[in-house]
A and B are shown apart, each in its own frame.
Chain A
Amino acid sequence: MGKQFTGIDIGSRTIKLVVVDEKGEIVLSLQTDTSFDPIFEAKKLLNGVHCDGIIATGYGRNLFEIAFDAPTVTEIKAHAIGARALFPDARTVLDIGGQDSKAIALFEDGRVRKFEMNDRCAAGTGKFLEIMARTLGFTIEDFGREALLAETDLNISSMCTVFAESEVTSLIAKGENRREIARGLHASVIRRAAGMIQRVANGGDIVFTGGVAKNTCMQKMLSEKLGRNVLVAADPQQVGALGAALLVAKKMNIIR
């Protein structure tokens, strides 16, 4: 058996693990909830995984670094590497995760040129969508699909999770169509994400990563809003872990 390299992405909502081989091909891809004890969950996930090197990323990377004496990389670089591995020409990456969102511009050779990150609160992130879906009685899996069925989007002016939730509640009370409210919420997240992207890079395809990239309404609206192609991996949530795994192999000079 050849060498194997692992990337672990400890996010606010889920922990992702990807193992690649010497060619950089994915041989294992796992995911679990972060819970209140991320290190315990990480250990469980790593149990039985053969690996010749590991790098941690995600907001829990420093916890992992202490517990496992492993090197770390920021989510920004990890998503950049992962996105480039899947889409070699990519120059712009949008990652929307559980509690933060980032727009990343790359140089032609794939290095990070510039990035923007949301401020301290959860506005415009996966958590925001999750809470709004619940308020409207949708599952997070159905949320995007239902929103796409709406013919128009209701304007939601607040980006703050707390204020937007009360705004949504009052729209429900007015008897507004919940799919239209849902679509409005998607539009408000997209406005924010589009702003971040435009601050770092104009033009070219956008690789959309993170859990929120699974949402088909988000994909469609992002592309429409910016008039740019949006590329999404088969499992966009694993892109950060993939990037970290590839970085291990790069550091060991196995792949370029």
Chain B
Amino acid sequence: MTADYRLMWTNLGLDLNAHDALLAVLGKAYQEIYLSQKNRPDAMGYFDFVMSEVHGLRIKELLDEKAAGRKIIGSYCVFVPEEIVLAANATLVGLCSGADFATENVEKLLPRNTCALIKSSFGFKVGKVCPYLESADMIVGENTCDGKKKAYETLGHLVKNLYVMDLPQVKSEQGKALLRAEYGRFKAAVEKLTSATVTPESLKKAILTVNAKRAAIHRLSSLRKADPTPISGLDALLANQVFFYDNPARFTESVNKLCDELEKRVKDKTGVFPEKTPRILVSGCPQAVPNWKLPLIVETSGAVIVGEESCVGERGTRNLTDESGETIEEMMEDIVDRYFQVDCAIFTPNPDRLNHIEEMVKAFKADGVIHYGLQFCQPYLMESIPVEKALEEKGIPCLRIETDYSMEDVGQLKTRVEAFIEQLR
């Protein structure tokens, strides 16, 4: 990366030494994990470029947007509605939370037995290594799990403009009313931040933009149903991860271009792995950049991942927002309807998720499910047991794993994953 970026990072207040170290590790990991894959689609070149510039060019773009009067809003969760953000002349970015950083300092602020994702989000802040976080004019925390909602109380002292969104935990009329009220409050807060007013036109346009992005991901997912699968799980996960960072229109175009190539592959019956390679559905906690630990283990052990039942994956992108609304009230209600369907494990009970897992197993012709749980993530770990039981009753093999971002359990995990794959053959 060029020297311009160093000045940009300094101005953002990053710790350049720590940031250099992070980029060096990331670059090496990307090389080893991504670029060493065989039979990659050519169109993944775009995502390689995005990743190589993830702290460079993309940040420059965001700063240019800011200079032109737009605001940047950072988020940690798929419940933060991008439609409202875009409609109010702001850009939404997902914030870094997929790697351990500055763990010792984080553990001065959070208990040790906090999940890796929350610790990571703090690590990027206290380590001063996330340019997205430092570019953001507003950071949205959301009351999902207990870990996150209590952590935001502390995060509020570390960042300038933390906005906390409350979320329902039950799919009832009252729950929906809460979401409706919270989205209304959020809309007002974003409008205040940007001094822009959400209009029927801007909201309509935003709904179409975000839907197009989701539709492109749906197209990508659907191509993974083919055997041989035309794209690796690692690459498909990357596209789902970049979903949270990239310019929406450009992302949509790039994913569609990738899909054009994959369609050709499916027609020619060419894939990344041979036909009949065991197919795995990953279900559970989100895998944020650069958390590629599980797919790397799976896809170097003789299986392929065909879907992610995850926030970074189907759970985050499953439904489109109804596009028929004309007034702001109608469209806001459509947005509430759309997000209220997200089957996050903070909801109780949460039967939709189990149904979705079973649907996905069928649709993607998965031979087995790996339930991915982050250590100390109570909601997903709790659900993993009934999920495993229900799948077993249907004769679908399931492996429950519980891990974090460290590498100390890789050998152990590899043995378990390999044994699971042997089971599927």
Chain A-chain B contacts (Cβ-Cβ < 8 Å), number: 35
Cβ contact within 8 Å between A76 and B422: yes
Known: A112-B422, A112-B423. A75 touches B408 (CB 8 A): no
**Is A117's CB within 8 Å of the partner chain B?**
yes
Cβ contact within 8 Å between A75 and B422: no
Cβ contact within 8 Å between A117 and B412: yes
**Is A87's CB within 8 Å of the partner chain B?**
no
Most buried by B among A75, A113, A120: A120
**Is A111's CB within 8 Å of the partner chain B?**
yes
Q: CB-nearest residue of chain A relative to B403?
A: A120
In A107-157, the 8 Å CB interface with B consists of 111-115, 117, 119-120
Task: Report the bound CA distance from A150 to B401 in whole Å.
Answer: 39
Cβ contact within 8 Å between B416 and A117: yes
Cβ contact within 8 Å between A100 and B412: yes
The residues of B that contact A113 with a CB separation of less than 8 Å are 423
In B114-132, the 8 Å CB interface with A consists of none
The residues of B that contact A114 with a CB separation of less than 8 Å are 392, 397
**Is B419's CB within 8 Å of the partner chain A?**
yes
**Is A164's CB within 8 Å of the partner chain B?**
no
Task: Report the bound CA distance from A77 to B421 in whole Å.
Answer: 11
- Name the distance in Å between A124's Cβ and chain B's nearest Cβ: 14
Q: How large is the interface on B (under 10, 10 to 19, 20 to 34, 35 or more residues)?
A: 10 to 19
**Is A73's CB within 8 Å of the partner chain B?**
yes
- Name the distance in Å between A58's Cβ and chain B's nearest Cβ: 9
Task: Report the bound CA distance from A47 to B111 in whole Å.
Answer: 53
- Name the distance in Å between A34's Cβ and chain B's nearest Cβ: 14
B389-425 CB mask vs A (1 if < 8 Å, else 0) is 0001000010000100000110110111011001100
- Name the distance in Å between A102's Cβ and chain B's nearest Cβ: 8
- Name the distance in Å between A52's Cβ and chain B's nearest Cβ: 23
Q: CB-nearest residue of chain B relative to A77?
A: B422
Cβ contact within 8 Å between B408 and A74: no
Cβ contact within 8 Å between A120 and B422: no
In B205-235, the 8 Å CB interface with A consists of none
The residues of B that contact A120 with a CB separation of less than 8 Å are 408-409, 412
Cβ contact within 8 Å between A76 and B419: yes
Task: Report the bound CA distance from A225 to B419 in whole Å.
Answer: 28
Known: A120-B408, A120-B409. A59 touches B422 (CB 8 A): no
The residues of B that contact A62 with a CB separation of less than 8 Å are 414
Most buried by A among B408, B415, B418: B415
The residues of A that contact B392 with a CB separation of less than 8 Å are 114
A224-241 CB mask vs B (1 if < 8 Å, else 0) is 000000000000000000
The residues of A that contact B418 with a CB separation of less than 8 Å are 74
Q: CB-nearest residue of chain B relative to A118?
A: B412
Cβ contact within 8 Å between B422 and A73: yes
- Name the distance in Å between A174's Cβ and chain B's nearest Cβ: 32
Closest 5 CB pairs of A and B: A76-B419, A74-B419, A120-B409, A74-B418, A77-B422
Give B residues with C-beta under 8 Å from A: 392, 397, 402, 408-409, 411-412, 414-416, 418-419, 422-423
